[in-house]
Chains A and B, each alone.
Chain A
Amino acid sequence: MLSIELGHFALILAFALSLVQVGVSAYAWQRPNEGAFSFVRHAGVMQFVLVLLSFAALTFAFVTSDFSLKLAYEHSHSLQPTLYKFTSVWGNHEGSLLLWVLILTLFGAAVAVGGANLPKASHNLVLGTQGFLTFAFIGFTIFTSNPFERLPEMPLEGRDLNPILQDIGLAIHPPLLYLGYVGFSVCFSFAIAALISGKIDAAWARWVRPWTMLSWIFLTLGIAMGSYWAYYELGWGGWWFWDPVENASFMPWLTGTALLHSALVMEKRGALKIWTILLAIITFSLSLLGTFLVRSGILTSVHSFATDPSRGLVILGMLTFFICGAFILFAWRAPTLKAGGLFSPISREAALVFNNLFLATATIAVLVGTLYPLVLDAFTGIKISVGAPFFDLTFGALMVPLLLVVPFGPFLPWKRASIAQASKRLFGAIVLSLILAIIVAAYLWEGFTLTPLGILLGFWVIIGALADLVERSKLFKVSPSVSLRRLAGLPKNVWSTSFAHMGLGLTVLGVVFVTAFETETITTMQPGDQIEAHGYSVRFVNEQNVPGPNFTSETATFAVAPVGKRENLVASEKRNYPARQMPTTEAGITTFGLSQVYISIGDRVEDNGRVVRIWTKPWILLIWIGTVVMALAGTYSLTDRKYRIAAPNLVRKQALGATK
């Protein structure tokens, strides 16, 4: 099909256009003129259109099973369900890189269109930086990982997508994660533009915050989705493995969260400017580091497709260039910034600094745990592995003080505050969470562990977050109808802060519960057998061979019920994908309230028996519910009028007010 060449051509055109955009942007920086500004904006939109065309051409080849395209031959199969033909496009190195570039240009175009209210010179520099990133990444795609390579002869059948990736998760997880990762490029471009122009003020923070929030929402959902996918697909019952690839996405999330909070201080109080700029640079640098770790092939995991080691060097070069370049610019320009508003060591600002301190230190812990084995191997050849025990210890210890302080934040006024006063207002929440934690911990007592502390922290963060709403609405102090009216009149950011913190508390509670109270039973069962597994009865109903579109399945059906309740039927499978001669395990998961029972089947044993592995996962759903609540809270804050991109006059007026 000719469309493949058209797609290839569109990508090359976008590459050339991004270079021109950078050049014109540099020219317009020196000689500001409307024509050049307008060109830079339109170039940003055009790049997106071109990359979208190129992506569409690639997708078309996959969906129509055009195996003359090498990539489609290697990663697709004509019998795949249509959804997987779509997702196969990015279920490989080259295609996923093109998706990365597509999203980069999408953000470039969004800034070009949505940033019309920015001062022209700043807007120009932001777009120029974004164009430079696009140039580098399209270049990398075209020269080292071209997705449009053809085969001289067209094979009759493709080699199929890795069966582990043949799942709805591949349709959701990578795009969400990339939207988050790459979204931080906008914050990066804003930081670079601010450093070049030297204009860094509260208005800057106001422009950057919605982009940070947007990326943070996507990254939150992307990580949560990845975690849930790994949980149900890999069949090991784990939801987080501290695998380097997971850490790679978690680090920008941690610093992105810190950035959201520090930009707040900068916006409201004009303080922490240097630190906020640095965080914006660090966050995107960590996104790039993540891309490097995953795409270079230095790690082996389900994410790293078979890659050619020379690509790793090129990505490392790009990574070094962007990160070092940004830091050199930072070191050169940062000292010229004037320090902003002062604040006392006990104040809302100080609480947000505390948040940043612990998030940044936690990032260091994750970074060390992720990179140290790689560095040690590179320099000494000693191979060690750093796993969950290290991260649980260090990251866990750092989270305790952070979570203790979270509810205090919204109760502390700006500039100067008193802990005694905040504690007094939080007294009800302190007592309530203590009582709840003691009841729950006593009910589930399993000896002296850290579990009760974890339960207390979870309840404390949730109740503390709600306490803010209770306090502001004067609930129980005035009549219910007045409180209700007050509640409805609260600013959006109060609601979103409260709900985001509550989501965090829910996730913490879920993590603590499932870590402390999950159970695992491994046994052999015959059809008809019934066993008790920690409060649930599990009956092996039957086993059947079921054909799938591009696989065959041995499906075992179980009936699971909490003691004395109605039973749920759940199917657990072993599949075989003939195209790759590869078996997979599809876990059977059934939900009771917030808890789940998770069943994996193993090998067949004598007669009709099966090795069966049964986990009970109390309250595990809270982990993901919490992340969704966090993302929804973030989304709600984005609807705040003052961030509305379509309200340019208002924003400009406020920006002017803030700079005065």
Chain B
Amino acid sequence: MTRKQKRLAIIGGLSAVVLTAVVFIAIAMRGTASFFVVPSEIQTQNIAINQAVRLGGIVKSDSWVKEGTSHNFLVTDCKTDIAVHYDGIVPDLFREGQEVIVEGALINNELFEATNVLAKHDENYVPKDMVDKFEEQGLCPGHTDEAYG
């Protein structure tokens, strides 16, 4: 092999590694990324049972029932409510009437089982994804204004 061929072979080999990795990254992305939805989109977007999603909305007033470490509450976008169950400790700023993002999946047509509950951790923090969706779809008008103001 000439020097030039050698160099081409090395560059070819390196590119092959990088390309393989990129394909692998793309496949991993399809397998692991989870969609962000608000409650009304659970039906309209045909979210399947056990499909991992992030659900954003407002903890409906007077819906939070806790028994020890078990929490049941409704997440609403002022149009549709979704019942959520979570076993664990909710964040310090988890409150009724405030924004929340829960990660998990529907375990049947009625109930969303959360593996993680995120609430804001600063009074200036707004779950931006959620506010964007609310504004786009005209949901809960009061909430988004206040959150953005």
Contacts and interface: CB of A to CB of B under 8 A. Distances in A.
A611 B89 contact: yes
Contact of A390 (B14, B22, B33, B125): B33
B49 interface: no
Interface in A362-386: 364-365, 368-369, 372-373, 377, 381-386
Nearest to A366: B25
Interface in B32-78: 32-36, 54, 66, 68-69
Interface stretch (B106-114, B116-124, B138-146): B116-124
B34 A357 contact: no
Contact of A383 (B66, B89, B123, B129): B129
A302 B122 contact: yes
A373 B33 contact: yes
Nearest to A345: B10
Contact of B17 (A234, A361, A394): A361
A595 interface: no
A581 to B, nearest CB: 8
Contacts of A522: 69, 87-89
Contacts, number: 105
A582 B93 contact: yes
Given A368-B25, A580-B123, A584-B92, A385 B68 contact: no
Contacts of A611: 68-69, 89
Contacts of A600: 89
Contacts of A580: 123
A383 B10 contact: no
Contacts of B126: 300
A654 B28 CA distance: 48
A153 B26 CA distance: 55
B30 to A, nearest CB: 10
A382 B35 contact: yes
Interface string A385-402: 111011001100110000
A584 B122 CA distance: 10
Interface string A333-350: 000000000100100000
A657 B22 CA distance: 42
A342 B33 CA distance: 43
A357 B17 contact: yes
B131 to A, nearest CB: 9
B88 A613 contact: yes
B83 interface: no
Contacts of B10: 345
A342 B4 CA distance: 12
B134 to A, nearest CB: 12
Nearest to A584: B92
Contact of A386 (B3, B14, B33, B90): B33
Given A522-B69, A585-B92, A613-B89, A383 B133 contact: yes
A522 B88 CA distance: 6
A121 interface: no
Contacts of A383: 35-36, 129, 132-133
B87 A368 contact: no
B8 interface: no
A305 interface: yes
Contact of B21 (A162, A302, A387, A398): A398
B147 to A, nearest CB: 11
A329 interface: no
A384 B36 contact: yes
A160 to B, nearest CB: 11
B127 interface: yes
Nearest to A388: B32
B122 A368 contact: no
A524 interface: yes
B136 A381 contact: yes
A387 B35 CA distance: 11
A577 to B, nearest CB: 11
A523 interface: yes
Interface in A145-168: 162, 164
Contacts of A387: 32, 34
Contacts of B89: 522, 600, 602-603, 611, 613
A357 B68 contact: no
A482 to B, nearest CB: 42
A164 B122 contact: yes
A574 interface: yes
B29 A357 contact: no
Contact of B24 (A306, A386, A397, A584): A397
Nearest to B36: A383
Interface in B1-24: 3, 10, 14, 17-18, 21-22, 24
Given A582-B123, A611-B89, A368 B35 contact: no
A372 B87 CA distance: 31
Contacts of B88: 522, 613
A453 interface: no
Contacts of A382: 35
Contacts of A562: none
Contacts of A648: none
A365 B32 contact: no
A299 to B, nearest CB: 8
B32 A386 contact: yes
Given A300-B126, A306-B124, A357-B17, A602 B32 contact: no
A175 interface: no
A234 B36 CA distance: 23
Nearest to B56: A383
Contacts of A584: 92
Nearest to B54: A385
A523 B88 CA distance: 9
Given A162-B122, A357-B18, A613-B88, A385 B69 contact: no
Contacts of A164: 121-122
Contacts of A361: 17-18, 21
Contacts of B25: 364-365, 368-369, 394
Contacts of A302: 121-122, 125
7 contacts: A300-B126, A361-B18, A372-B29, A383-B36, A389-B31, A390-B32, A611-B69
Interface of A: 162, 164, 234, 300, 302, 305-306, 342, 345, 353, 357, 360-361, 364-365, 368-369, 372-373, 377, 381-387, 389-390, 393-394, 397-398, 522-524, 574, 580-585, 600, 602-603, 605, 611, 613
Q: Which 3 A-B pairs have the closest CB atoms?
A: A602-B89, A383-B36, A306-B124
Given A364-B25, A384-B33, A523-B68, 10 more contacts: A234-B121, A372-B29, A377-B129, A383-B132, A385-B54, A386-B32, A386-B33, A398-B21, A584-B92, A613-B88
